[in-house]
Structure 1
Amino acid sequence: MNCKKLVGAVLGSTLLISASATAQDWPNGDLRFILHVSPGGATDVLARRLADGMQQITGTNVVVENQPGGSGARQLALMSLIEPDGQTIGSVTASHLGMLQQSEEFDLSSIEWSCGMVLDPYLLAVRADSDIQSLEDMVAKAKANPGGLTIGGFGEASGGHVAWAMFEEASGIVGDMNWVPYDSVGDAVVSALGGHSDVAIAYVGLVKQYVESGDMRVIGIQSDTRSESLPDTPTYAEAGFDVDTTWQQFRGVIAPAGTSMEHQQALCDVVEQTMQSDELMQYVRDSELTYGFMGPEPFKAFVEAQNEAAIYWGERLESIQ
């Protein structure tokens, strides 16, 4: 279902939710945490850990709700119908920026960019028994047989799709591999493990266990330095491909448009406290994420800068479809 139809379906079936609260009362009852991904992916796992920590700090239930579809379009359609009283929050990643470039319903101002949490570099992974041994090998095979290889990732125009467009251009294989969108990066990894796609674009935290078990091999990472968990995996630059490493997956928290700055700040204070807990910091280290908490104003400025790249690459994606 395309973005416009998806939004229409949600708008036609969901009632406006109203409530009243002040920042001093926050949270005033259960918090609703709407995710734009299906269960099991990296964003889902981090969000659920965050929700557990927020519950411990606030003493309030944080109800996690998965609403995948349209690379975040379904989630935003739901959030646009909710009273901006601080009681509803959402997950957000770089994938939203790609989706916003293709949306007629939403733009950056459609939500409040409340706080950023972590950054996460993209990587390319294959099954361990794949005949794709390296980035150079994948590129050579793609050029020799255009359309013969598939790569899976989260959603059309998602952050991973943009990252792939960057690699395509740098390697000279624009349009030579078929992009297959999934409802989460975890689904894309499972597909590659099952032999349903040739390559997955993912993150260290999602593939680390499969590399350690001998089921997957990572052939390259979009980072300035090698991963500590994957010391044998070259960066794109080491393999000879000049790809922008400032484009990384980011994960944060959003709120419905119109949510007061007081409510956003109260939320972000709890998010920051939760992220700095021993449990969450250990998860960040184990997943090789980069801790990067940002409050409302710094996060919005960061997103606006990232959006400039998303606009360019969104246009590039449209031009080859």
Structure 2
Amino acid sequence: MGGDKMNKFKVVAAAALLSVTGAVQGSAQDYPGGPLRYVLHVEPGGATDVMGRRLAEQLQKQLGENVIVENRPGGSGARQMAQLARAKPDGLTLGSVTASHLGMFQQSGQFNIESVEWACNLVLEPYLLTVRADSGIESMQDLVAKAKASPGSLSVAGFGEASGGHIAWLMFGESAQLADGDINWVPYNSVGDAVVATLGGHNNIAISYIGLVKQHVDAGTLKVIGIMSDTRSEIMPDVPTFAEAGFDVDTRWQQFRGIIMPKGTPPEAQQALCAEVETALQTPELQKYITDSALIPGYMPTEEFTDFAKAQETATKTWLDRLGHGQ
């Protein structure tokens, strides 16, 4: 190729590169360029729903675009995943994600960790065990004693099958040396539903979070008997940790709440969304919600969140296989 032709080729190539770069930058600056659709995998009223709606409200203020929240419960996230699989990967659709998705991936075989883009994480949250205040169950040791004295007479309410909460319960059961059937697991479409069912006397125990039970504890209708954390909660300082109650569990296993997007969503769109999400999480309104709900700030950008999800997936598979609940 001659010198003039080579120079012309370089100029054209450089212009093309600048054009692509400019388009990417322009798309990021103009993001989202339309209303966002936020698909939640839970019923209204649960912890994930409440967080999602508060985040959507703040994003709407920041972006000047509508953020439409849709609840698509069912199958521990499978129904929501089907919606995301059908959505265009144009950066305008996002979904809630928690540890429960990882259990669903192992159980259903229909979806897997590669079915979506892991855009960013929001917060982390420890599990806890709660009972009705008039249940007669005074402590975790008391719960275990009653279960062993009358196997099958008690039930625990939680979100879905093979969910994060279900695995946390299985971890506790192993530590407490409970046999299958000593306490029956009853799945609900949201943790909020599980708490309501326990309040109504349909179940004896619920595995939940501080944000969902605090008002009921304050009202004297629920009692928290243990929290799956290394340290006691500042909001409920009288509640012992699982370890203090004599049960050795892996406290690294905590609920996480993050955002996923349809497979193939451009990295620029993920980054633009997550930059807005990170800003939203620092607002006084969401900071207060995070503090009041005893959530742990845990923002992770795309690459970090993807690596985190893969590590959690490995832990999920290990525990489900170990406890006989694998695929």
Structure 2 counterpart of 1:4: none
In the alignment, the residues of structure 2 paired with residue 35 and residue 230 of structure 1 have an alpha-carbon distance, to the nearest angstrom, of 29
Structure 2 counterpart of 1:59: 64
Q: 1:159 deviation in Å? A: 0.6
What SS class does the counterpart of residue 281 from structure 1 fall into? helix
Is 1:164 matched up with 2:169? yes
> Which residue of the other structure, out of 14, 22, 25, is the alignment partner of 2:30?
25
In the alignment, the residues of structure 1 paired with residue 79 and residue 325 of structure 2 have an alpha-carbon distance, to the nearest angstrom, of 25
> Which residue of the other structure, out of 285, 290, 294, is the alignment partner of 1:288?
294
In the alignment, the residues of structure 2 paired with residue 301 and residue 320 of structure 1 have an alpha-carbon distance, to the nearest angstrom, of 22
Structure 2 counterpart of 1:50: 55
In the alignment, the residues of structure 2 paired with residue 311 and residue 168 of structure 1 have an alpha-carbon distance, to the nearest angstrom, of 17
Structure 1 counterpart of 2:20: none
In the alignment, the residues of structure 2 paired with residue 84 and residue 22 of structure 1 have an alpha-carbon distance, to the nearest angstrom, of 14
> Which residue of the other structure, out of 62, 73, 98, is the alignment partner of 1:68?
73
- CA deviation digits over 1:105-160, x for unaligned, max 9? 11100011100010000000000001111000111111111111100000011110
- CA deviation digits over 1:44-69, x for unaligned, max 9? 00000000000000000000000000
Q: 1:313 deviation in Å? A: 1.9
Identity of aligned residues (%): 61
Structure 2 counterpart of 1:250: 256
Is 1:204 matched up with 2:210? yes
Q: 1:28 deviation in Å? A: 2.0
Q: Count residues with an aligned counterpart.
A: 301
Structure 2 counterpart of 1:113: 118
1:157/1:317 contact within 8 Å kept = no
**Range that drifts further, 227-236 or 242-251:** 227-236
TM-score normalised according to structure 2 size? 0.90
In the alignment, the residues of structure 2 paired with residue 91 and residue 310 of structure 1 have an alpha-carbon distance, to the nearest angstrom, of 18
In the alignment, the residues of structure 2 paired with residue 70 and residue 132 of structure 1 have an alpha-carbon distance, to the nearest angstrom, of 31
In the alignment, the residues of structure 2 paired with residue 76 and residue 278 of structure 1 have an alpha-carbon distance, to the nearest angstrom, of 32
RMSD value, Cα? 1.4
Give the letter for the 2:286 counterpart: L
Structure 2 counterpart of 1:189: 195
> Mind listing any 5+ residue stretches in structure 2 that lack a counterpart?
1-25
Is 1:78 matched up with 2:96? no
Structure 1 counterpart of 2:41: 36
What SS class does the counterpart of residue 213 from structure 2 fall into? helix
Q: 1:319 deviation in Å? A: 4.3
Give the letter for the 2:58 counterpart: G
> Mind listing any 5+ residue stretches in structure 1 that lack a counterpart?
1-20
1:165/1:174 contact within 8 Å kept = no
In the alignment, the residues of structure 2 paired with residue 316 and residue 124 of structure 1 have an alpha-carbon distance, to the nearest angstrom, of 22
> Which residue of the other structure, out of 255, 269, 272, is the alignment partner of 2:275?
269
In the alignment, the residues of structure 2 paired with residue 54 and residue 214 of structure 1 have an alpha-carbon distance, to the nearest angstrom, of 35
Give the letter for the 2:41 counterpart: H
What SS class does the counterpart of residue 172 from structure 2 fall into? helix
2:107/2:326 contact within 8 Å kept = no
What SS class does the counterpart of residue 211 from structure 1 fall into? helix
TM-score normalised according to structure 1 size? 0.91
Give the letter for the 2:109 counterpart: E
